[in-house]
Amino acid sequence: MLSRWIGYVVICLGFVACDTSSVDVETPDDVTQSGAIGLSELTRLDLLPQFKRSIRVGSFSSYDRTGGNDDGFSGDYSFIRKDDEGLVLAELDGPGAIYRIWTPMPTDDVFAFYFDGEAEPRLEIPFRQLFTGERQPFIAPIVGYGAGGFYCYLPITFERSIKIVARTDSIQFYQMNFAIYPDDADVTTFDGYDSAESREQLALAADLLGSAGDNISAAMAPPGSTVTTERRSLPIGAGETATLFDLAEPGRIVGLRLGPASALAGKPRDVVVRIYWDDDPEAAVVSPVGDLFGYSWGEPAMRSVMAGTADDTSYLYFPMPYDRNARIEVSSERAIDVQGELDWTNVARSSDEGRFYALWRRENPTSVGETFTFIDTEGRGHIVGATLQAQGFAPAQTGFFEGDDQATLDGVLSIHGTGSEDFFNGGWYNVTGRWMSRVSLPLSGCLDYKNPLGRTGGYRFMLTDAYAFDQSALVTIEHSPTENSFATDYVGVTYLYSEERPTMPFAIPPAAERRVVDPERIVFRPGWSVPVDSFSFRNMTVTKIQEEFEGENTRYLKVRAEGDDMFGPHSVGFRCELPEAGTYAVSIEAIAGPEQASVQVYRNEKAEGESVDLYRPARMMSGLVPLAELDFIEGENVVLLKLVDKNASSAVLGLDITALTFERVR
């Protein structure tokens, strides 16, 4: 891949004490060094440090204008006005560009794009085809879908104006990010990218965005430069800090790889990386290694184009220009051997480029009534990415992820999102096949979703849709549907370019304040999305039920059996993932009643604990009923429940289970 940039050289393989090699970067002819607006922004990533020419960035979205949580459900806020044709979703005077379109619910309704005051739309397209890759020039992976969301990053440019109309009476959730440029900016109105040159550029952008996990450092280097790769293997003792790389001449880093990822992983977050620019005594990048590369609670998780982990090596590909020198240090609370590769060129930072910064922040707990802050800074720059690890304090609840993201740029609320997973191009958490497990897309994804632990997280990198600011930037995210009413444990990393050092403090806290904290109580609710491992071979039905019960909306798994199974008492088993090995007290919650059996935990066909009779003359919540204390491994465990007996008064052999609860004993 990326052969347009990379010339042939002999590359030395493997890590040694110190080794170097070099790559020449060819000169593309698609844009000059003076800047890029539109499609070139997806191919000329070497220009990412340049301060943006935009005079305003913002978004249109379906967020609830009343401050509530109706962020598209009713459709009341899913347009800016109505006209005879339908719903006007966006309307802007230019020059400018629509850089990102997102929804979790595309439809076949036609969207009409009007440019520069023209009476007829230049583009008419079913909403769904903006994302599916089936229609030129909306090709994958510039457009795509996954983790419950649909995204389009094809720049839709306009010289004088744009209006986007949905020919329908109602739509629900949507976001559209845009940038407006000064009148003298070189912006050409969208023409479908039909020319041979445009199609070549499209193919190049698709190639680049399809390179997640590959070495794309050459795409980060200025045309005509030579990329030099240095390799080092360095032992670091417990409590020590070591310099991994030290560059003593002007230049820019275009790629950093550290490994082995399996050795850097861990819940203590006890290995920290720091990057320094130009004799600044304070680090510009300071983060636990894993979190910088998109780990999920200590485990490698992210595999994006810009950063992530592949083949047991964690990588970061951003152009990082500096004036005089650069230094990368690694600190560790335990003995470790670190293997590093650094790609750099000798092209120094220019006056129109910012320095690269990465801020690690943790709020544990978050403050009730106040948003979590990714960054709050003064000066000039642009934000190009963020990760978030979000841990709630109540098991089996992730309602904190209903919170909206907000970006206040130069004192103006410019971007208001519709929900936390929406910010990361996802949708519909706790729904199988959507925001339910780790998903890595080129520029965004789900780091994890574990409802029983009350845990989730995501990432997003912003190439064309960077949040540019001239005076100040405040980026926050809520941690509840409204009013930030849930206390949580939030960890975020923000990636940005800035003219000066960000004014928000971001020194790394002591090791004890960085460690992942796993919940002591974990609740699995089979009426939702807990995997059923198995149930009886015959004469059993399993059904998910939702009903109003005792004044609450209740979901449960309804198990009914009759006669005999082939291998003894009827059974149902659940796959339960636990964050740590140990001994746990296992309890059950159910709707007790006249159709309930006696239940007992079995392991390797051995009964554990005592059987519990869930029969009651009338239906009622059982409360928490202890079953047994058992040892479990970290990760996935199967818990098998057997319907061992039936009360003489019980009409049916059944189980209406609402929850399985694990409480750490030791």
Task: Tell me: do 197 and 288 sit in the same domain.
Answer: no
Task: Tell me: do 248 and 194 sit in the same domain.
Answer: no
Q: Tell me how far apart the alpha carbons of residues 105 and 150 are, in angstroms, rounded to a whole number.
A: 8
* CA torsion angle 289 292 296 299 (round to 10): -30
Between 8-17, 416-425, 581-590, the lowest mean confidence (pLDDT) is in 8-17
Residue 445 placed within a domain: no
The pLDDT tens digits of the residues spanning 261-299 come to 999 999 999 999 999 999 999 999 999 999 999 999 999
What does the pLDDT average to over 39-45? 95
The length of the chain in residues reads: 666
Q: Tell me how far apart the alpha carbons of residues 109 and 88 are, in angstroms, rounded to a whole number.
A: 13
Work out the number of other CB atoms within 10 angstroms of the CB of residue 567.
Answer: 10
What are residue 641's DSSP bridge partners? 572, 601
Q: Tell me how far apart the alpha carbons of residues 323 and 500 are, in angstroms, rounded to a whole number.
A: 13
Q: How many domains does the chain have?
A: 3
Task: Tell me: do 161 and 139 sit in the same domain.
Answer: yes
C-beta separation of 440 from 387 below 8 A: no
C-beta separation of 9 from 23 below 8 A: yes
To which residue do tokens 């051997």 refer? Answer: 337
Residue 390 placed within a domain: no
pLDDT category at 15 given cuts 50, 70, 90 is: very low
- At residue 598, does pLDDT exceed 90? yes
Q: Tell me how far apart the alpha carbons of residues 111 and 96 are, in angstroms, rounded to a whole number.
A: 19
What are residue 240's DSSP bridge partners? 332
DSSP string, 163-212: EEEE-SS-----EEEEEE--TTS-------S-SHHHHHHHHHHHHHHT-T
Residue 363 placed within a domain: no
Q: Tell me how far apart the alpha carbons of residues 363 and 486 are, in angstroms, rounded to a whole number.
A: 13
3-state secondary structure of 400: helix
Task: Tell me: do 4 and 73 sit in the same domain.
Answer: no
Q: Which amino acid, 478?
A: E
* CA torsion angle 186 191 196 200 (round to 10): 70
Q: What are phi and psi of 202, to 5 degrees?
A: -60, -45
What does the pLDDT average to over 388-398? 95
Task: Tell me: do 202 and 237 sit in the same domain.
Answer: no
Helical H segments across 457-603, by residue range: none
Q: Tell me how far apart the alpha carbons of residues 544 and 95 are, in angstroms, rounded to a whole number.
A: 53
Determine the structural domain holding residue 17 and report its residue range.
Answer: 1-30+215-353
Mean pLDDT, all residues of the chain: 94
Residue 403 placed within a domain: no
Q: What are phi and psi of 329, to 5 degrees?
A: -120, 150
Return the closest-CA partner of residue 501 out of 221, 315, 215, 281: 281
Task: Tell me: do 77 and 16 sit in the same domain.
Answer: no
Task: Tell me: do 196 and 290 sit in the same domain.
Answer: no
Q: Tell me how far apart the alpha carbons of residues 256 and 340 are, in angstroms, rounded to a whole number.
A: 7
Determine the pLDDT at residue 567: 87
Say if residue 628 is exposed, middle or buried (CB neighbours under 10 Å; 0-12, 13-18, 19+).
Answer: middle
C-beta separation of 25 from 7 below 8 A: yes
Q: Which pTM was predicted?
A: 0.94
To which residue do tokens 């199609």 refer? Answer: 199
The pLDDT tens digits of the residues spanning 484-515 come to 999 999 999 999 999 999 999 988 999 999 99
Q: Tell me how far apart the alpha carbons of residues 44 and 33 are, in angstroms, rounded to a whole number.
A: 9
What does the pLDDT average to over 623-650? 95
What does the pLDDT average to over 356-383? 97
Task: Tell me: do 17 and 48 sit in the same domain.
Answer: no
pLDDT category at 35 given cuts 50, 70, 90 is: low
Task: Tell me: do 534 and 622 sit in the same domain.
Answer: yes
Q: Are strands 285-288 and 355-363 parallel, antiparallel or unpaired?
A: parallel
The pLDDT tens digits of the residues spanning 444-460 come to 999 999 999 999 999 99
The CATH number covering residue 61 comes to 2.60.120.1390
Task: Tell me: do 181 and 252 sit in the same domain.
Answer: no
The CATH number covering residue 578 comes to 2.60.120.260
Task: Tell me: do 190 and 328 sit in the same domain.
Answer: no
Domain final residue, candidates 305, 325, 353: 353
Work out the number of other CB atoms within 10 angstroms of the CB of residue 295.
Answer: 29
Work out the number of other CB atoms within 10 angstroms of the CB of residue 468.
Answer: 24
Q: Tell me how far apart the alpha carbons of residues 184 and 55 are, in angstroms, rounded to a whole number.
A: 12
The pLDDT tens digits of the residues spanning 403-421 come to 999 999 999 999 999 999 9
Determine the pLDDT at residue 19: 72
Q: What percent of the chain has pLDDT over 70?
A: 95
Residue 433 placed within a domain: no
Q: Tell me how far apart the alpha carbons of residues 2 and 227 are, in angstroms, rounded to a whole number.
A: 14
Return the closest-CA partner of residue 150 out of 535, 485, 422: 422
Please list, in sequence order, all residues whose beta carbon lies within 8 angstroms of the beta carbon of residue 43, skipping any fewer than 6 positions away. Answer: 28, 30, 31, 201, 204, 205, 208, 219
Task: Tell me: do 245 and 100 sit in the same domain.
Answer: no
The pLDDT tens digits of the residues spanning 115-136 come to 999 999 999 999 999 999 999 9
Q: Tell me how far apart the alpha carbons of residues 493 and 375 are, in angstroms, rounded to a whole number.
A: 9
What does the pLDDT average to over 152-156? 98
Residue 503 structure tokens: 């004014």
Domain final residue, candidates 336, 353, 370: 353
Element housing 289 (H / E): helix 289-292
Residue 507 placed within a domain: no
C-beta separation of 149 from 137 below 8 A: no
Determine the pLDDT at residue 17: 53
Residue 86 structure tokens: 């339908």
- At residue 18, does pLDDT exceed 80? no
- At residue 34, does pLDDT exceed 90? no
Determine the pLDDT at residue 575: 96
DSSP string, 218-239: HHHSPTT-EEEEEEEEEEE-TT
Residue 392 placed within a domain: no
Determine the pLDDT at residue 560: 97
Residue 499 placed within a domain: no
pLDDT category at 621 given cuts 50, 70, 90 is: very high
Work out the number of other CB atoms within 10 angstroms of the CB of residue 27.
Answer: 10
- At residue 104, does pLDDT exceed 80? yes
Domain final residue, candidates 206, 237, 263: 206
Q: Which amino acid, 324?
A: R
